[in-house]
Structure 1
Amino acid sequence: MTSQHDALFAQYTQSWENKDLPQFLACLTDDIIITECYGATYISKTEAQKWFQHWTAPTENQVVNWEILAKFEDSLKNTDFFNWRFRYVYQNKASVFEGLSQVTFSDNGKITKIKEYEMAFDKTRPYLASK
């Protein structure tokens, strides 16, 4: 199932890059639960659709690139973990952050749950020895 999971998550991220609502919805079960790294939670395909449309409707909002950096899987729980870098423009402000999505798949090959976690893109080295 792992290559199917990879392809489905790639389809999900591409739907954001392309602002493609039908592609987005095709990835999800009707009872999808999506929890953003900011805490917002969308339960059901209807709520997920409203979120997607609200985010993508303004022309200035754009997912510029959603790059998958690494992938890990827990086949016993039908769950994969995707480490990524997310570049976007929201309300005319460009930004980037890194994160991880914990994605659970249904037996019929759709996404049933996503939990997102964020990590700051800019890294610091607070204990780097000074010269």
Structure 2
Amino acid sequence: MIEREQRIRQYFDSWINKDSSMLSTIFDPNIVYTESYGPQYRGFDTLLLWFEDWNTHGTVLNWTIKHYFLQPIAKNPPGNCGSSYVREPAIHVQQKKASLSSS
């Protein structure tokens, strides 16, 4: 569990530091990333483009993790056709709203 929590912290720190270098060690190349309000980014390259674009227009000043809720998920979700896999169990993080600054 400690390793997964460290990976989450690395992800949050990536946003705070505007540093995408750790993202490839966190996410699978076939990632499907869904934001809390609906948008989805399919594939690591798309995720990286979103991360870099977002960080050219905004800045995360603070992103505090309050609690970790860790649970396993299916390796191949319905409709996936088995073409990708999940590196780690699903990780849900309860957080304080991130402090943002727009450039």
| TM-score normalised per structure 2 | 0.76
Structure having the higher strand fraction is 1
3-state DSSP class of the match of 2:31?
strand
Instruction: Provide the rounded CA distance (Å) in 1 between the counterparts of 2:91 and 2:49.
Output: 25
Query: What is the identity, as a one-letter code, of the residue corresponding to 2:34?
Result: T
Match of 2:69 among 67, 72, 78: 72
Instruction: Provide the rounded CA distance (Å) in 1 between the counterparts of 2:91 and 2:45.
Output: 24
Structure having the higher helix fraction is 2
Query: What is the identity, as a one-letter code, of the residue corresponding to 1:66?
Result: W
Instruction: Provide the rounded CA distance (Å) in 1 between the counterparts of 2:55 and 2:5.
Output: 23
Report the Cα offset of residue 39 of structure 1.
1.4
Task: Report the counterpart of residue 16 of structure 1 in structure 2.
Answer: 15
The 4+ residue runs of structure 1 with deviation greater than 6 A are none
Match of 1:88 among 66, 80, 100: 100
Report the Cα offset of residue 8 of structure 1.
0.4
Decide which structure has the larger Cα Rg and report it. 1
Does structure 2 retain, via aligned residues, the 8 Å contact 1:71–1:81?
yes
Q: How does 1:1-131 map to 2 (within 5 A)?
A: 2-58=1-57, 61-74=58-71, 76-77=72-73, 78-85=89-96, 86-90=98-102, 92=103
Task: Report the counterpart of residue 81 of structure 2 in structure 1.
Answer: none
Instruction: Provide the rounded CA distance (Å) in 2 between the counterparts of 1:56 and 1:20.
Output: 9
3-state DSSP class of the match of 1:29?
coil
Identity of aligned residues (%): 24
| TM-score normalised per structure 1 | 0.61
Structure 2 spans left out of the alignment, 5+ residues: 74-88
Report the Cα offset of residue 81 of structure 1.
1.9
3-state DSSP class of the match of 1:21?
coil
